[in-house]
A and B are shown apart, each in its own frame.
Chain A
Amino acid sequence: MSQQPMTMPEGLGGVTADWSADKQAFPVPWGKAMMWIFLLSDTFIFSCFLTGYMNVRMSTTVPWPNPSEVFALTVAGKSIPLLLIAIMTMVLITSSGTMAMAVNFGYRRDRKRTAMLMFATAALGLTFVGMQAFEWTKLIMEGVRPWGNPFGAAQFGSAFFMITGFHGLHVSGGVIYLTVVAIRVLNGFYDRKGTYETVEVAGLYWHFVDLVWVFIFAFFYLW
């Protein structure tokens, strides 16, 4: 690291300076830069799914099932639209909040709090996946399949299983990732390494999972 922060230009001049010479382009830990680039590629994957969903929804001549009704839950004899999805959204946002604080405590070298907040994040992630499994089971029992369903356009099932399945896989992977990092936090691995940036990098991944859900929630469930 030979940057001279005092002389690094800001603004557009800073962009040119950062990109021009034969040197490290991004003055951040390499793990963080690579995570950002990975997340960028993941953005394209999820966008392709959502764009594909848009395309099949626009092109079908059969009415699209009303998500508000399909994902309703009956509580005490009253049908509440999208109830489970709303709870899942809150759970994921809460997990993002605990993760943000874990990163903060990590940089303060507070091992215990960092690990506890990360375990809490992972637990909330597991809760989310559990509720998703419940949602899938319910829809499958009601006859929703990737090739058809009783409520309307056949493409509904394939779009639903593909998009939420891929997202759920990301959440599951994130839970494992966070658990591994949290255990390493607890046993002092990052104290020996001398930096807690891994916690922030894991946090980036987790926030991205939450970010993708924001778009799925808007385009798939609310549209």
Chain B
Amino acid sequence: MDHAAHSGHAPAAHAAAHGGDGQQHPIKLYLWIWGLLFVLSAFSYAVDYFRVQGYTRWTLIIIFMLLKAGFIIAVFMHMKWERLGLKLAILTPPLALLVLIGLMAIEGDYTFLTRLASFGQEVFQPAPVHHD
């Protein structure tokens, strides 16, 4: 890969190092990832189309979701080629969200049980979904 040939403004060595003026990767790689994302999206759509239910459904949805997210971040957003310092600075803080998600799941569960205890199961007759 020819990083340095067209970085007249920056020291060529810098551009060639990491992520400077030179995230140059073969087009073929992008096309591959593009195709993969298509296939993975088709898979997750198929999960819904064929009405897969229960744990199989959730596992498949999450696996396809994480694979897609991973490919987008790693290749399209070039994270794969950045230095570990930047990777850690951007990718580790969202882990704190797991605490929020955990707390809110407990909270949601508690609210649900409280509502059941106080109001009982509401009788709700959903209208059948129909489109014109």
Residues of A within 8 A of B (CB): 1, 3, 5-6, 8, 10-12, 14-15, 18-19, 25-29, 32-33, 36-37, 39-40, 43-44, 47-48, 51-52, 54-63, 65-66, 68-70, 72-74, 79, 81-82, 86, 89-90, 93-94, 96-97, 99-101, 103-104, 107-109, 138, 142, 150-152, 194-197, 200, 203-204, 207-208, 210-211, 214-215, 217-218, 221-223
Contact = CB atoms under 8 A, between A and B. Distances in A.
Contacts, number: 215
A26 B37 contact: no
Contacts of A94: 34
Given A100-B30, A215-B69, 17 more contacts: A3-B17, A11-B84, A33-B86, A40-B93, A55-B107, A55-B108, A58-B109, A59-B109, A61-B121, A63-B126, A65-B126, A65-B129, A82-B45, A93-B37, A142-B131, A200-B23, A217-B41
Contacts of A43: 94, 97
Contacts of B90: 36-37, 39-40
Tell me the interface secondary structure of chain A in the complex: helix
Contacts of A208: 77
B34 A93 contact: yes
Interface residues of B, number: 76
Given A28-B19, A200-B23, A108 B76 contact: no
Nearest to A68: B48
Given A40-B93, A82-B48, A207-B76, A59 B108 contact: yes
Contacts of B121: 61
Contact of A97 (B16, B34, B122): B34
Contact of B97 (A10, A51, A96): A51
A196 B6 CA distance: 10
A214 B69 contact: yes
Tell me the interface secondary structure of chain B in the complex: helix
Interface string B27-67: 10011011001100100110111010000011001101100
